[in-house]
Chains A and B, each alone.
Chain A
Amino acid sequence: MSLTVIGVRHHSPACARLVGATIAALRPAHVLIEGPADMNQRIGELLLGHELPVAIFTSYADERRRHGSWAPFCEYSPEWEALRAARECGAETRFIDLPAWHEAFADRDNRYADAELRYAEAVGRLCESFGVDNSDALWDHVVEMGPDEGLAERLTAYFDVIRGDAEAGPSDTAREAYMARWIRAALADAGDRPVVAVVGGFHRPALLRLTASAAAGPGWPEIPQPPDGATARSYLVPYSFRRLDAFGGYQSGMPSPEYYQQLWESGPEQAARHLVTAVAERLRKRGQAVSTADLIAARAGAEALARLRGHSCPARVDVLDGLAAALVSEALDVPLPWAVRGTVTAGQHPAVIEMTAALSGDRHGRLHPDTPLPPLVHAATAELERHGLDRAGEHGADLLDPRGREISRVLHRLRVLAVPGFRRITGPATGIDPVLAERWTVQNHEQRLTALIEAGGYGPTLETAAAARIAESIDQAAGDLGALAGTLFDAALCGVTDLGEDVPERLRQGVAAGSDLPVLGRVLAVTLALWRHDRLLGTAGSEALAVVVAAATRRILWLAEGWHAAGAPADRGRIAAVAAVRDAVLHAAAVGVDRVAAVEVAARVAADRAAPPDLRGAFYGLGHVLAESFLEDPAQAVRGAFAAGTAGDWLAGLFGVAREPVLAPGGILGLLDELVTGFGAEDFLVALPALRQAFEYFPPRERETIGERLMAHRGVDGYARDLLRTTVPAEIVAAGLALDETVERRLAQAGLISAGETR
């Protein structure tokens, strides 16, 4: 029995070379690879002849969690090289790790992340003793730039130091135990023929120990099945270098795929030269000046750095450091990304951004046409073809026409599933927007297939997938009312009416956590309109919307009653929220909006001296609309609220919710006239802007009515319309009034008139 365990770093060209050479030399019976064991029946799919990079995408959903994760492969992945070499020498190939949906991967998006990052202390010590910035520079220094001789020994030493005596976490322990069972089974099966296992170097010491310490059980280990009621699906997706490089933190693996692709294809010298050329080309394309002198300086700097650091030719960081020194001629705001290890952050220098982009490259993978695809891909393609949406260009959808509505729904479902290439140019922006046609642009985006395969985890048809996606958004939007309202509108546009049993409850919780009165008001107004009227989108009477209406009404009443800010200026959003409550109480009693509670709150707020005046006015109006005999003596409430500084704000609140008390015969118009006339000139000027704002709530025709009543009340003849038609701007009138006032005061001071005489 002879076992060779090659401990690799995922996506390392040097390790891939070692794997290829070892398998070719040993011609083993079994090649075991760290990868999802549930794909073992389908390993043939991987070898169909795809253009790399591709990834195995696994989606998982049960009642508690929904999770998607990737196992990406590129040409220089040791795992991929193992697949290729094993097929060449006719070895049996198996994946030996737990499936991606397993609990051990619950917090992982990238199967091939660097495990050692989770045990950072040892890495930090190594970096310090080698005098390098981080683990990537260390890796290049020790492995990629080192000679091929002795590579296996260096890798062993490297990972032994990193693993040290560290106790692995529970998920790594579970995976190692499982992988060891496969290795033991393969050894038992192989007899005296060799077995090669390709695993993350971090796991190698533990696997050797575990394999030696126990005997093989009978047969191959069983493959874990997802629990009852859960779904787990795996499909191949085309991947891209950009995405491979975008994992951050504990999810990240080897950075800079394009650089390592070049390294794999043509060696370090060529890779370094390619990098400098690519960066210069990118920068020049962006109109940045890169002089020949700069390039010479970059080149010389890289060579010198390589020599200083003991590399035979410039390594990745040598080239980058050389370029940065030559091209960046100002202070940086944030450290260089390759010095701190991480994705590019905001505030990075433009030249540095282009450098990292050149390192990432823009290579895209492509699947072989025979690759099995999830049902959603076929369903979506069929729908697009049926509606003629498969050709790129502009498409229109008339929402009044049933066929147009169907087109619109297909496109919205694709949009909600984040499939790129479908963009709406025009169309209704809210449920009460009187726009009845949409225009879309459709592009044949290169990421369409990838996005559809990944969305396949949500469901087999566009409708079910969009519904699941929307339910997930509702979960994520808890507390963020704006997002919640947007999601509900998406649901309406997608024609998703059945969101699942627990969605109304989650919506209720989301609304109940809202704390912004104006936003709540907007949410209530829009959902109420959708619930009441929208037969076009099929949302009229929808249960989910009804829940939102009831919950938002309750929440607004609760928040408004606790709002204490005497003397705060009027706020239209706040007033609109009360107006929305009014509509909800009037029209949605059937869904549990409580009229009695609303009237009681209205009475309390209207009489609360600590409440903002506009809210007091608004609730006075609300009570007036909702209850026949709201207050025993309305006139007293009006007088109580009518202080000079806040009268306008109070009226704004009142008019925003109820204009009826003023317009109705026998209303409070006379009383208002009396109170306003009673203002001193100074007070009137202070109250004027707010008064003007308040009366803006009346449409012109109603203002004319008020004018007529007022003139009748005062016994003046004339046309009310003339009162409304001012030829002089309001500021000038106000300035004139102020001037009159000053003149009068001076005259009175000089004893030429007695105060109030001209009035």
Chain B
Amino acid sequence: MTLSVTIPADAMQRPPAEVRYADELARLRAADDAPTPPGWALSLRAARAFVVGDDALGVTRKFVGDPSLIDRALVSLATNRGLLLVGEPGTAKSLLSELLAAAVSGDSTLTIQGGAATTEDQIKYSWNYALLVSEGPSERSLVPAPLLRGMAEGRTVRFEEITRCPLEVQDCLLSPLSDRVLAVPELPGGAGMVFAKEGFNIIATANTRDRGVNDMSSALKRRFNFETVFPIADFDTELALVEAEAGALLRRSGVTVAPRRDVLEVLVTAFRELRTGRTARGDEMDRLSGVMSTAEAVAVAHAVGLRGWFLRGTAGSAADLASCLAGTAAKDNPEDLAKLRRYLEQHTGWRAGAQWRELRDARRELPGG
């Protein structure tokens, strides 16, 4: 078995953004006549068009949200501060960071995944120990990690879930961000200082549910521009997104019927209400403590479609929705389950529509009901 097989893009489970949208990037590059920041693959204007879309060039809109957020993010990346995307889980922060990296550097793969066990080795560099023992520290025995590569090659480095890393590990970003230099003290002479090439910057993401950005040192905070990504504000936009994404997932799973729009409307309405703790007509109710993001809604819509197709050979129904909600939205939290049951009992009856009625009738499908 070999690991280094080059897989064609169409066989990859999920090709990176620069591969998925290679033709769009090529068109944007060809038409790009605005000044390009040093080290960037595209001008700011073309990079913006890559994310928010440009009908004239056939570039699709890839991120729904305020266009001004993209403007501010790109400008941050062009300055000497890093970009930190914060927000609730499932607000497409990682997607946005991938798109930005693909637009700015033409490469979104220099990624550090933050976690409790992340060490400086995985961020900066480590050693090939066999070579280290035989030759001593040298550029040959050095194994660069994403940060070192990004600095040396002048590219964008993505740092996912940065606040899940221990504080002292986060702080190793301080001098690369402020002095734009990384010291490799083991290497002799000038090789021991790696200076960042133009084009290097960091896009970090952090979610407000985990340990929270409060854990970041203020020294590091100062070196980032914060951009908060909010859940989609507009119902129709969210519905269209869920429809498109769930449809694509279902096709990939071999389901040949499209999800039903009326079921999706019920699903998106329920998600938005459980997320904000307020119904469409203004009743106050309990928010679920679990994550009720658009991404979760897509996952539920996918599961509903799978259930309907593989159990009965039809598109998913509102009854399927009830059972899928329990597993994906309430997870194993008994309180959320109770809140969900209360919601189905009290806030489905007064609405018009066969799907709401069916959802209400199916509330006994919830575990323990």
In the bound complex, CA of A552 to CA of B226 (Å)? 57
> Secondary structure at chain A's binding surface: helix, strand, loop or mixed?
helix
From residue 34 to 89 of chain B, which have CB atoms closer than 8 A to chain A? 44-45, 48, 52, 55, 66-69, 71-72, 74-76, 78-79, 81, 86-87
In the assembled complex, A533 has its CB within 8 A of some CB on chain B: no
Interchain CB contact under 8 A, B230 and A325: no
In the assembled complex, A305 has its CB within 8 A of some CB on chain B: yes
| Given A132-B67, A317-B68, A321-B71: A308 in contact with B44 (beta carbons within 8 A) | yes
Interface Cβ pair total, 8 Å cutoff: 75
Closest residue of chain B to A321, judged by CB?
B72
Which of A332-340, A391-399, A462-470 lies at the interface?
A332-340
In the assembled complex, A328 has its CB within 8 A of some CB on chain B: yes
**Which of A297, A300, A305 touches B71 (beta carbons < 8 Å)?**
A305
From residue 323 to 361 of chain A, which have CB atoms closer than 8 A to chain B? 324-326, 328-332, 335, 339-340
Q: Which residues of B contact A335 (CB under 8 A)?
A: 66, 228, 230, 233
In the bound complex, CA of A618 to CA of B38 (Å)? 85
In the assembled complex, B197 has its CB within 8 A of some CB on chain A: no
**Which of A131, A317, A330 touches B213 (beta carbons < 8 Å)?**
A330
From residue 74 to 115 of chain B, which have CB atoms closer than 8 A to chain A? 74-76, 78-79, 81, 86-87
In the assembled complex, B355 has its CB within 8 A of some CB on chain A: no
Interchain CB contact under 8 A, B52 and A131: yes
From residue 306 to 324 of chain A, which have CB atoms closer than 8 A to chain B? 307-309, 317, 321-322, 324
Interchain CB contact under 8 A, A325 and B72: yes
Interchain CB contact under 8 A, B48 and A329: no
Interchain CB contact under 8 A, A330 and B71: no
From residue 139 to 175 of chain B, which have CB atoms closer than 8 A to chain A? none
In the bound complex, CA of A533 to CA of B226 (Å)? 64
Interchain CB contact under 8 A, B76 and A325: yes
Closest residue of chain B to A132, judged by CB?
B67
Interchain CB contact under 8 A, A301 and B72: yes
Min CB–CB distance A252 → chain B (angstroms): 18
* Interface bracket on A: 20 to 34
**Which of A301, A304, A330 touches B226 (beta carbons < 8 Å)?**
A330
Min CB–CB distance A110 → chain B (angstroms): 24
From residue 288 to 310 of chain A, which have CB atoms closer than 8 A to chain B? 297, 300-301, 304-305, 307-309
Q: Which residues of B contact A137 (CB under 8 A)?
A: 68
Q: Which residues of B contact A330 (CB under 8 A)?
A: 86, 213-214, 221, 226
| Given A326-B225, A330-B213, A331-B226: A340 in contact with B233 (beta carbons within 8 A) | yes
In the assembled complex, A744 has its CB within 8 A of some CB on chain B: no
Closest residue of chain B to A308, judged by CB?
B44
Interchain CB contact under 8 A, B87 and A331: yes
Closest residue of chain B to A294, judged by CB?
B222
In the assembled complex, B198 has its CB within 8 A of some CB on chain A: no
| Given A131-B52, A330-B213, A331-B87: A305 in contact with B75 (beta carbons within 8 A) | yes
Closest residue of chain A to B48, judged by CB?
A308
In the assembled complex, B224 has its CB within 8 A of some CB on chain A: yes
A128-145: CB near B (< 8 Å → 1, else 0) gives: 010111000100000000
Q: Which residues of B contact A133 (CB under 8 A)?
A: 66-68
Q: Which residues of B contact A304 (CB under 8 A)?
A: 44, 75, 78-79
Q: Which residues of A contact B286 (CB under 8 A)?
A: none
Interchain CB contact under 8 A, A308 and B225: no
Interchain CB contact under 8 A, A339 and B68: yes
Q: Which residues of A contact B52 (CB under 8 A)?
A: 131
In the bound complex, CA of A307 to CA of B213 (Å)? 31
**Which of A300, A301, A328, A331 touches B208 (beta carbons < 8 Å)?**
A331
Most interface-central of B45, B48, B79 (chain A CB within 10 A): B79
From residue 106 to 134 of chain A, which have CB atoms closer than 8 A to chain B? 129, 131-133
Q: Which residues of A contact B230 (CB under 8 A)?
A: 335
B195-225: CB near A (< 8 Å → 1, else 0) gives: 0000000000010100001100000011011
In the bound complex, CA of A537 to CA of B86 (Å)? 60
In the assembled complex, B227 has its CB within 8 A of some CB on chain A: yes
Interchain CB contact under 8 A, B228 and A331: yes
From residue 217 to 259 of chain B, which have CB atoms closer than 8 A to chain A? 221-222, 224-228, 230, 233
Interchain CB contact under 8 A, B68 and A329: no
Since A129-B55, A332-B226 are in contact, a sample of 18 more A-B pairs with Cβ atoms closer than 8 Å, ordered by chain A residue number, is: A132-B67, A133-B68, A297-B81, A301-B72, A308-B71, A322-B75, A325-B72, A325-B226, A329-B221, A329-B225, A329-B226, A330-B214, A331-B206, A331-B213, A331-B228, A335-B230, A339-B68, A340-B233
